Structure formats: C-alpha cells, structure tokens
Structure 1
C-alpha cells in the first residue's frame, strides 16, 4: 500500500521516501558544467515562465522558474525545493545555459576586517 505524497514533489512516497534519486534528476551529472553558483547568489527568471523552444523541462526546472519570478538566493531555492544543494546547482546550470535565468553573484570583498575589530565583536558578544 502506497503512502500519501508529501511535500512539493509528486514522486515522494511517505513509506518509501524519494523514488527518484538525485543523480536521476541531474541526468547522472555530479557537477555543473559552468562555474559553481555561490550560496548567496540571486537567481531571477529571465522571462515570465516562457519556456517555448527550449525542449522539455523537468518538473524541478519548472518549479525553479516559478520560484525565481522574484529574486531568490541559491540557498533558499535548495530549501524550497527540498533538494540537495549540489542537485540545485546542476539544475540552475541547465537553466542558465538555456538563458532562462539570470544570476547575480554577491560582490567579492576586497579587504577583510582588521583582527582588532573581529576581537571586539567577539568580546561584545561574550558580554551579552
């Protein structure tokens, strides 16, 4: 007897757990083809869910496009999709290669805070 479907995925079974394994969702890939996406990078759907001419998208791709109608971080997408971060990065790479999403990386910090500032913050936190 099958359990009730749980979560946002129709392929989840409450008794057996996920029926489709992550490597199946990614087509057996374990790394994105392009550069890895930062956890804090923001993803935005490039067009209002217009996917004509891009072939058949998986349900996970469509869900990412739906969630990315407003800017959303890679970490939040992974949490909302209830998928491993590595899987989400590969799916994002697919969408980015198809030009269905835009990616905004956080700016890299050119300088690091001075050690005295960090020590003062730690001491202040300990005083709380």
Structure 2
C-alpha cells in the first residue's frame, strides 16, 4: 500500500481481509511461524493474499515479521494467513518455546573442563 504524507495508508487494512475481522482459527499467535508453499501463487486469490504468499515465497516468517513487510496490522495478517492455511497454501506452526535454563552446576563443570584442556 502506498501511504499519504501523514503516513496513513490510502486503503483501510480491513479491506485487505475482505471485511473479515477475526481469523478462522485462534491458533495463530504473533510469533507463529508461517511457511509458504513451493507452488505457484493462484491468480484467483485476492491481492493481499497473493502478496502474503509472495512475501513467504517458499520460506518462513513469523506473523509479526510478515505484517511488517506487508505494512499491514498483525490482526489483518492473522486473518489472511488463517484463510490461506485453511486452503492449504500456507502452513503455520506454534512459536518455538523458550528453552529451559541450563543447570548452573553443569555449566561450571563444562567451563572447568575447557580450562583444563587449554592448559
């Protein structure tokens, strides 16, 4: 979308979703990872969905990263991505969970072992 001098888009974001306000699935979070399909982009899709597929282009991005690249609100990208997931054109997986803190005793033993190798 091309913006005006005030920075506001010429077309409201809800028009990119066809007026749909909520995604068809609630499993898409801000950090959910979207992966595009390897096939060609169907010409029958709305322009916003075609842009989303081109942005993914066989790679993976989070919902937030995709929204930033498309210059759309995260809520609009969630709606678009949910629809494409329902059609089988995009796969979505939950965000990677935070790793557990390593045992401090184990880290100390590893550091001591590395220091012993250095000598």
- Shared topology, TM-score over 0.5? yes
* Correspondence for 1:5: none
> Is the helix fraction higher in 1 or 2?
2
Corresponding residue to 1:49 among 35, 40, 46: 40
* Correspondence for 1:20: 11
- Alignment partners' CA distance in 1, 2:41 and 2:51: 13
Q: Secondary structure at the match of 2:23?
A: coil
CA shift, 1:97, in A, is 1.1
Q: Which runs of 4+ in 1 moved over 4 A?
A: none
CA shift, 1:16, in A, is 8.5
1:108 and 1:61, CA in 2 relative to 1: closer, same or farther beyond 3 A? same
Runs of at least 5 residues in structure 1 that lack an aligned partner in the other structure:
1-8, 118-128
Offset from partner CA, 1:5-61 (integer Å, 9 cap, x none): xxxx25x44478423212222122211011241222211112333426xxx222221
- Alignment partners' CA distance in 1, 2:32 and 2:100: 20
* 8 Å CA contact 1:42, 1:104 repeated in 2: yes
User: C-alpha root-mean-square deviation of aligned residues, in Å?
Assistant: 2.6
1:50 and 1:29, CA in 2 relative to 1: closer, same or farther beyond 3 A? closer
- Alignment partners' CA distance in 2, 1:16 and 1:71: 28
CA shift, 1:107, in A, is 4.4
* 8 Å CA contact 2:41, 2:54 repeated in 1: no
1:51 and 1:40, CA in 2 relative to 1: closer, same or farther beyond 3 A? same
**Total equivalences in the alignment:** 101
Structure with the greater alpha carbon radius of gyration: 2
